[in-house]
Structure 1
Amino acid sequence: MTVCVPQGAGQRGKMLLTGGRGMVGRNIREHPLAQEWHILVPTSDELDLTDAAATADYMRDEQPDIVVHSAGQVGGIQANMADPVAFLDRNVAIGRNVIMGAHGAGVTRLINLASTCIYPREAPNPLREDMILTGPLEPTNEGYALAKIVALRLCQYIRQQTPTLMYKTLVPCNLYGRHDKFGAHNSHMLPAVIAKIHAAREAGDSTVEIWGDGSARREFMYAGDLAAAVLWAAINIEAIPDVMNIGVGKDYTINEYYQAVADVIGWTGAFTHDLSKPVGMQRKLCDISRQTALGWAPQIDLRDGMALTYQFFLERQSS
């Protein structure tokens, strides 16, 4: 079994990190606060989270002090629309198996990572945690959202039955950063934009296409900041509410993100718009009053985060 054990780790106990090889998981493992934990990072070959019995056995054998659940099938609008069955079925199974496996093994602390896609499509912004399940979801990623809602509710029901169990859910805003996916069909918006504009600069293209009119607004946080939030929450889990947004509290239009990426990369062309393409929710901005009241705030601004992400993209291109 592959175990991530940083130098001097373990004083806070044993942490099971699901999805430890994904973008969020890798950023958690790289963060300085990870050195305070003995972190278990099983591969999918070592632990199939879609197998309920295997997941339950693993929890009983390892007896982690805390579980951080970040595993799942993820992707952007294109990926969600192309395979909604997998985005619902696999993510429901994974969430249920991890949470109930931990519960059955007597694990008392669990941090479940959700997504802002769980908010109703027409919910007013900023999105408050009490708005969940108050209206229809965005159709383009409904399957993924339903799976995340199931996991969130399962944690809440466990807390209702046994209040001493610290099963909490963090709801991050949109993410980007190191270890992200940059492919056209499996990436989120900002890494896809980075790859697209980089390719345009390399090819000498004078235009880049944007889906929709570019007026939709999004809130993006650097993945390293989410890692900091998760590890902070692991230490302060009793103080945080059952459900809490994690975000930057500020959003920009899709057009502004494209221009910011172009500035970082050094591409000086023009943008065109394909109005026939889906764009998802018109706005998704988190209410971050709960995290602010507890004293946590992200540290990496957008321009610095995009520069770090582009540097990672170039390193991966050259390797």
Structure 2
Amino acid sequence: MKVLLTGGRGMVGRAIQDHPGAAAHRIVAPTSTELDLTDRTAVMKFVSEAAPDIVIHAAGRVGGIQANMANPAAFLAENMDMGFNVVLAARETGVPSLLNLGSSCMYPHDAPNPLHEESLGKGELEPTNEGYGLAKVAVARLCAFISRERDDLAYKTLIPCNLYGLNDKFDPAISHLVPAIIRKVHEAKESSAETVEIWGDGTARREFMFSGDLADGVWAAVEGFDALPARMNIGLGYDYSINEYYAETARVIGWEGAFVHDLSRPTGMKQKLLDVSAQKDFGWEARTSLAEGIAQTYAHFQDLLERGAA
């Protein structure tokens, strides 16, 4: 098939293109300089000319808790603009299939764990990433509305858990939890620091999947698109505490210092674990262990440091 992939330069987009499943298809993955996804006219023209068999929408403005709290308006507006432009252009040009990548931030902050797809839209979102979550909810609903209105179009949403992996962002101001931990622990080892600070008490639990596993799930969804539910969680089905992520990273890197907790900092949701029963019924599961994923990501980070790119 001819696949239009948005966000091809991001962590998820690169993982999708690097996966062996990509070799079976012709992939068109414009960079942000080649196509501004916030420009509706430009997106419409590009999609019309590309005429893909399927769109994989993986683009978005992403960041960790600090970035989301500092710029909620930008996270809402940019992600909604990009998503709406891509989905509406696909509809107007008659692209038959679209796979939209959502986020576990779409779930209400008080939804029962594990988070089931039926909980979507049934409560207020977590305040620390509300802008991002609202945008993802809106784009997923747009996909559902279009599929309901048009029998010839199937626009579906995968809802990944938190992610980390190769080509992640390691800048502390914008990075997610795992790459931020990798950088902090690496720098502690390099400077022979005795302690590393953890925000909050570290008991909050998170489900982080290696980006290569998500890419595997995306291609499984493309190949089995007809059997894919309209919206489906994709994740591990189990989680770890923040303290455990720090401890495992320290073990992989070889730092033997102590952790201290800054209780004045926000902890966020106490747990955000996906219900993966629909994913299991679909016939897919992640394979990369936490230790293996951190080791691969740390090796990538070291390579970036050597090239002066981190």
> For the superposition of Structure 1 and Structure 2, which TM-score range results when normalised by the shorter chain?
over 0.9
Deviation at 1:164, TM superposition (A): 3.4
Separation (CA, whole Å) in 1 of partners of 2:274 and 2:14: 24
- The amino acid of 1:133's aligned partner reads G
In the alignment, what sits opposite 1:192? 180
Separation (CA, whole Å) in 2 of partners of 1:73 and 1:174: 15
After superposition, what is the alpha-carbon deviation per residue over 1:221-240, rounded to whole angstroms, capped at 9, x for unaligned? 00000000011101111101
1:172 counterpart = 2:160: yes
Which of 200, 215, 218 is the equivalent residue of 1:212?
200
Deviation at 1:45, TM superposition (A): 1.3
After superposition, what is the alpha-carbon deviation per residue over 1:103-127, rounded to whole angstroms, capped at 9, x for unaligned? 1111010000000011000111000
Separation (CA, whole Å) in 2 of partners of 1:215 and 1:180: 24
- The amino acid of 2:144's aligned partner reads Q
After superposition, what is the alpha-carbon deviation per residue over 1:270-296, rounded to whole angstroms, capped at 9, x for unaligned? 000011111211100000000101110
1:150 counterpart = 2:110: no
Are 2:213 and 2:286, in contact at CA under 8 Å, matched by a contact in 1?
yes
Separation (CA, whole Å) in 2 of partners of 1:205 and 1:294: 47
In the alignment, what sits opposite 1:308? 296
Separation (CA, whole Å) in 1 of partners of 2:215 and 2:160: 10
In the alignment, what sits opposite 1:59? 47
In the alignment, what sits opposite 1:68? 56
Separation (CA, whole Å) in 1 of partners of 2:136 and 2:200: 27
In the alignment, what sits opposite 1:281? 269
- The amino acid of 2:204's aligned partner reads A
Alignment of 1:71-150 (within 5 A): 71-150=59-138
Deviation at 1:214, TM superposition (A): 0.2
Separation (CA, whole Å) in 1 of partners of 2:227 and 2:152: 12
Separation (CA, whole Å) in 2 of partners of 1:202 and 1:290: 44
* Structure 2 residues without counterparts, runs of 5 or longer: none
SS at match of 1:201: helix
Identity over the aligned pairs, expressed in percent?
55
SS at match of 2:98: strand
- The amino acid of 2:56's aligned partner reads V
Which of 220, 228, 231 is the equivalent residue of 1:232?
220
After superposition, what is the alpha-carbon deviation per residue over 1:127-184, rounded to whole angstroms, capped at 9, x for unaligned? 0000011111100000000000010000000111113312000000000100000110
Separation (CA, whole Å) in 1 of partners of 2:249 and 2:117: 30
SS at match of 2:12: helix
In the alignment, what sits opposite 1:256? 244
SS at match of 1:111: strand
Query: TM-score, normalization: structure 2?
Result: 0.98
Matched pairs, number: 307
Separation (CA, whole Å) in 2 of partners of 1:170 and 1:298: 14
* Structure 1 residues without counterparts, runs of 5 or longer: 1-12
- The amino acid of 1:242's aligned partner reads A
- The amino acid of 1:150's aligned partner reads A
